[in-house]
Structure 1
């Protein structure tokens, strides 16, 4: 009825708004085979999903919108004809003309009464779907959410117990370096925790958005559609307080009071902790790769020296004593073998320094990572355990207060 109530403010595409608020995955896995229906394409309401119930209600809402719009146009036409009839009476027009106008007024009035009765039938069907279909689906959703958060509370509680043992862990005396695979796994963990934070935020936002939308719709749904014609058109019986009202109001109120920021902050903080560990490991990995590059450089220089030294000694031996005498002056000022060995020794010294730096960083990375995990992992699961407990308590209370009609319970 949202479209009906806001007709004076212009047309609003509420189906689009509803689709933006609600995202569902239609599941017909429990539907009977099509052959079981024979020639009847109607699906038993027992097999309808939450989504299909909303689809049906939206279709009836659109039908009601069209009926009310047509009724308003017909009422305007009727009022014009009545005004014309009064003018004709005052002017004293021919009886034949007056009778035609009276017949047109009567015809429009009859059509309006029929259309109003049709509209009342539409309202009755919307209310029936609200009370007999949507409300039980919401109760089922509450029950499912209570079970889910009960399970989440149980698992988070055990995770907290298990992870509390990390306080007894000690960094190994010999630092283990961060391998490329280890670094990649830490990056994957960081991305997963970030995704967890984003999806958790979306889950809570969508829950709130859906319940807010249903509450806004219900407020308009409970406003009766009145006719201002003299003849009273029978209206369908309305429940002043339908069961869905108390459920939605309580659901909305308790969702707003949930300490969602508690869990969001815990997940976000842990994501930042893992991001910091990634940065530490990235520095260590870069140092290790620098060591590997220096080691390859050293091996290359050694191989080049051995190859050069062998040629040098062969050439020196083949030239004999004369060559040695001619090179005495050069040897006084320069020793090519010593120069090349010095260059290799410089690379060896640089490699030892880089390896020492890498080992120190590797130890620091292990110690800082372990310290961060010791502090923040228990905090994460403690907060998630508390939040899951709050959610379970909320949905358990809603489940206790949401009582289905006897016919629904028996069904």
Structure 2
């Protein structure tokens, strides 16, 4: 049986790239959930369900304040707002924001009325049967609507996002683990390194790789920061949201306090797992690899500069050679003495010829140096990849595994709590 062929560097890099592309596809569903595709009109995975005008939907909620002024409420508004057919994560948040603004408006307006007519209201309250004020009704209606959006729309969207993140990281782990196996094959291979020179295209691809790895480092950091900020902001809002807002309640009021909603437990657990993920070590590993690619670029640039110097020297040698040949031919045609009586070349001829030969020898030395440089660049580049890529894929695969496990656990906890609440 023939021994297995050593892994070729080009084939290995193509396989690694293929896994990167397939891993990136795992984020498409999460991007759809977050409407990230809407930011890019040319996105291949943009939803085809049509554009959702968030602003118009939010303004429909805001204009519900007409009812507070005694203006009839349009009949079609409620139905459209309650239609979940086109509802997305972003539209739910927009509506929650609108209702929070409405509630804030109602409270502020009520306080102005309360301060202006406090004494008159006291007199009126004594003369009429005690009942709920219109402002209280409006505040209650706003609170009910916010809680309904929170528990019936936002919470399911968050659960959907958790499940999507779990599946996304699970797929990414599989691909990063495969990449680790591939690069370990290259590390154990004794594939001889050829002294092939760095082409302009090769150098451009290395520059592109360096740029992409830098962007990977930046975007990974942004992803973790934005996720922590988003979950932290939602959790802070939830902690305030579940506190009764009716300041007219007496200290010993028998009104029941709202039980801890499932969304609060979910966000609390989500917030905790984000703090436990090793994102800083992952960022460091990606940054380190970016520096490795930069080192390879420096070696390539030194090689390219040497090649440019060779080309300049070769042109100069050809120019000097042509000048010497032209000068010798003209002097020979004129019958000028090119040789001494003993047959040796005359001094002027010797000087010009020596200058040309010196340039020719310098060109040969540069070419020899260049061939050695090509081998050094190939050796160093391959060794840097063999040494650093395994660590990179080991770190990112570990991070993906932990992320998948934590989101799976978060999903399980949420569903267990939901069953207990039923």
TM-score in terms of structure 2 length: 0.75
What is the rounded CA distance, in whole Å, between the counterparts of 2:193 and 2:135 in structure 1?
Answer: 87
Structure 1 residues 274, 173: CA separation in 2 closer, same or farther (over 3 Å shift)?
closer
What is the rounded CA distance, in whole Å, between the counterparts of 1:160 and 1:218 in structure 2?
Answer: 41
Asked if 1 retains the 8 angstrom alpha-carbon contact of 2:198 and 2:303, the reply is: yes
1:74 is matched with which residue: 104, 113, 138? 113
SS of the residue corresponding to residue 197 of structure 2 reads coil
Q: Determine whether 1:57 maps to 2:77.
A: no
Q: Determine whether 1:265 maps to 2:263.
A: no
Q: Determine whether 1:188 maps to 2:215.
A: no
Asked if 2 retains the 8 angstrom alpha-carbon contact of 1:116 and 1:233, the reply is: no
Give 1:62 shift: 0.6
Q: Determine whether 1:282 maps to 2:294.
A: no
Asked if 1 retains the 8 angstrom alpha-carbon contact of 2:244 and 2:258, the reply is: no
Q: Determine whether 1:361 maps to 2:373.
A: yes
Structure 1 residues 152, 23: CA separation in 2 closer, same or farther (over 3 Å shift)?
same
**Which residue is 1:315 aligned to?**
334
Structure 1 residues 205, 356: CA separation in 2 closer, same or farther (over 3 Å shift)?
same
Give 1:32 shift: 11
For each residue in 1:92-147, what CA deviation from the matched residue of structure 2 results, as whole angstroms up to 9, or x when unmatched? Answer: xxxxxxxxxx349868x86x722111110110000000000000000000011011
Q: Determine whether 1:29 maps to 2:41.
A: no
**Which residue is 1:118 aligned to?**
138
Looking at CA atoms only, which structure, 1 or 2, has the larger radius of gyration? 1
1:197 is matched with which residue: 188, 201, 217? 217
Asked if 2 retains the 8 angstrom alpha-carbon contact of 1:81 and 1:105, the reply is: no
What is the rounded CA distance, in whole Å, between the counterparts of 1:30 and 1:296 in structure 2?
Answer: 63
For each residue in 1:265-304, what CA deviation from the matched residue of structure 2 results, as whole angstroms up to 9, or x when unmatched? Answer: 1100100000011111111111111111111111111122
SS of the residue corresponding to residue 246 of structure 2 reads coil
Asked if 2 retains the 8 angstrom alpha-carbon contact of 1:227 and 1:233, the reply is: no
For each residue in 1:23-50, what CA deviation from the matched residue of structure 2 results, as whole angstroms up to 9, or x when unmatched? Answer: 955576336999xxxx967262142000
TM alignment of 1:76-155, pairs within 5 A: 76-81=115-120, 102-103=123-124, 113-155=133-175
Asked if 1 retains the 8 angstrom alpha-carbon contact of 2:193 and 2:379, the reply is: no
SS of the residue corresponding to residue 374 of structure 2 reads helix
What is the rounded CA distance, in whole Å, between the counterparts of 1:173 and 1:257 in structure 2?
Answer: 43
Asked if 1 retains the 8 angstrom alpha-carbon contact of 2:285 and 2:395, the reply is: yes
**Which residue is 2:69 aligned to?**
none
For each residue in 1:285-343, what CA deviation from the matched residue of structure 2 results, as whole angstroms up to 9, or x when unmatched? Answer: 11111111111111111122222222221121xxxxxx659x979x9995332222111
Asked if 1 retains the 8 angstrom alpha-carbon contact of 2:313 and 2:363, the reply is: yes
TM alignment of 1:234-245, pairs within 5 A: 239-245=258-264
**Which residue is 2:315 aligned to?**
296
Instruction: Provide the aligned C-alpha RMSD in A.
Output: 3.3
| Number of residue-to-residue matches in the alignment | 353
Return 5+ residue gaps in structure 2 as ranges: 1-33, 39-45, 54-74
Asked if 1 retains the 8 angstrom alpha-carbon contact of 2:210 and 2:294, the reply is: yes
Give the helix-richer structure, 1 or 2: 1
Compare relative contact order (CA 8 Å, sep 6+) and give the higher one, 1 or 2.
Answer: 1
TM-score in terms of structure 1 length: 0.77
Structure 1 residues 341, 31: CA separation in 2 closer, same or farther (over 3 Å shift)?
closer
For each residue in 1:153-212, what CA deviation from the matched residue of structure 2 results, as whole angstroms up to 9, or x when unmatched? Answer: 000010111111111344746511212221111111111100110011101111101000
Return 5+ residue gaps in structure 1 as ranges: 1-21, 86-101, 317-322
Structure 1 residues 206, 173: CA separation in 2 closer, same or farther (over 3 Å shift)?
closer
What is the rounded CA distance, in whole Å, between the counterparts of 1:30 and 1:74 in structure 2?
Answer: 45
What is the rounded CA distance, in whole Å, between the counterparts of 1:390 and 1:204 in structure 2?
Answer: 14
